[in-house]
């Protein structure tokens, strides 16, 4: 019933979508409400409000082993998660391996490297040599500098927002050493932002409105403007992969927008 109501609402908004078609996505099993979703290169993962993690397989969600996770991310470095106590995990061989350190948010969308922020809003990066092949060995996180509450990376660089919802971009210079060119302030305000495998960035503002960063190219990786995507409705979080936006509404419904 809830998904049907959302679908009817979406139908009335399609004319406003500026090239995007929005529909309800595949919902989590049973009565589970989604908390967060992440997608890249055809992989989609999610968590629910009971801290279970899932991986999308075809039209169905496959439950991953329970680890009390509040955030999960997928990328070339595999599936990574953060539990309610800020412990870090990587999904290895069908189970969760504990990773040294603590973070409140993690992103595995970079080119083999992993980034995240801790409870003090410090920003960290794990070089690809440590992240891709991690199976329990010791490793060292590199502090990037700056203070952010959300951090996400793609092929051209990384995007983040701070506690005041100010937006920043940092171009990647080396995934092997977690090196960046320096922070650039980007006009606008968002509460979270995610980057796709093609460098496109999408975010949500404090009112739940979804925006796409426009004008992103290899020569201009920070882009040039913002495009509002109204048909998704009020979202609390979004992710983007291969022409599809995945979002979680404020009521825990998974939505999709395709270009």
Give the closest residue to 7 by CA, choosing from 258, 259, 254. Answer: 254
Cα–Cα distance for residue pair 175/171, rounded to 1 Å: 11
Cα–Cα distance for residue pair 81/91, rounded to 1 Å: 8
pLDDT of residue 18: 62
pLDDT of residue 43: 95
Place of tokens 């953060």: 82
Instruction: Give 228-241 as a DSSP string.
Output: E-GGG-SEEEEEEE
Tally of CB atoms within 10 A around 12: 9
3-state secondary structure of 3: helix
pLDDT of residue 86: 98
Average pLDDT per consecutive 10 residues, the chain (259 residues; last block may be shorter): 42 53 93 94 96 95 97 96 98 95 95 95 94 85 96 94 98 91 97 95 98 95 96 97 96 95
| CATH code: domain of residue 180 | 2.130.10.30
pLDDT of residue 31: 75
Place of tokens 């496109």: 200
For the chain, how many structural domains are there in total? Answer: 1
Cα–Cα distance list, 214 to 49, 221, 225 (Å): 32, 10, 5
Place of tokens 């948010």: 105
pLDDT of residue 121: 98
Cα–Cα distance for residue pair 51/114, rounded to 1 Å: 21
| Burial class, 8, CB count within 10 angstroms (exposed 0-12 / middle 13-18 / buried 19+) | exposed
Q: Which domain holds residue 175?
A: 2-258
198 phi-psi bin (left φ>0, alpha ψ -120 to 50, beta other): alpha
Cα–Cα distance for residue pair 194/203, rounded to 1 Å: 6
Cα–Cα distance for residue pair 208/175, rounded to 1 Å: 32
pLDDT of residue 210: 98
């Amino acid at each position: 019933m809830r998904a049907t109501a959302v679908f009817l609402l979406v139908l009335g908004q399609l004319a406003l979508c500026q090239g995007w078609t929005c529909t309800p996505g595949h919902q989590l099993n049973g009565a589970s409400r989604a908390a967060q979703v992440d997608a890249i290169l055809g992989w989609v993962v999610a968590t629910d409000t009971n801290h279970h993690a899932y991986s999308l397989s075809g039209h169905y969600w496959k439950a991953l082993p329970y680890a009390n996770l509040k955030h999960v991310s997928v990328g070339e470095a595999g599936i990574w998660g953060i539990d309610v106590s800020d412990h870090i995990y990587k999904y290895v061989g069908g189970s969760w391996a504990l990773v040294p350190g603590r973070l409140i948010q993690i992103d595995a969308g970079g080119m083999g490297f992993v980034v995240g922020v801790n409870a003090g809003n410090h920003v960290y990066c794990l070089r690809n040599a440590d992240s891709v092949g991690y199976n329990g060995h010791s490793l060292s996180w590199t502090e990037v500098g700056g203070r952010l509450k959300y951090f996400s990376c793609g092929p051209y660089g990384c995007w983040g927002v701070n506690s005041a919802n100010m937006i920043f971009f940092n171009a990647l210079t080396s995934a092997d050493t977690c090196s960046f060119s320096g922070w650039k302030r980007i006009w606008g305000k968002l509460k979270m932002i995610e980057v796709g495998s093609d460098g496109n960035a999408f975010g949500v503002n404090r009112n739940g409105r979804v925006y796409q960063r426009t004008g992103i190219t290899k020569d201009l990786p920070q882009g040039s403007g913002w495009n509002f995507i109204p048909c998704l409705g009020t979202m609390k979080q979004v992710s983007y992969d291969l022409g599809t936006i995945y979002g979680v509404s404020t009521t825990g419904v998974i939505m999709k927008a395709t270009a």
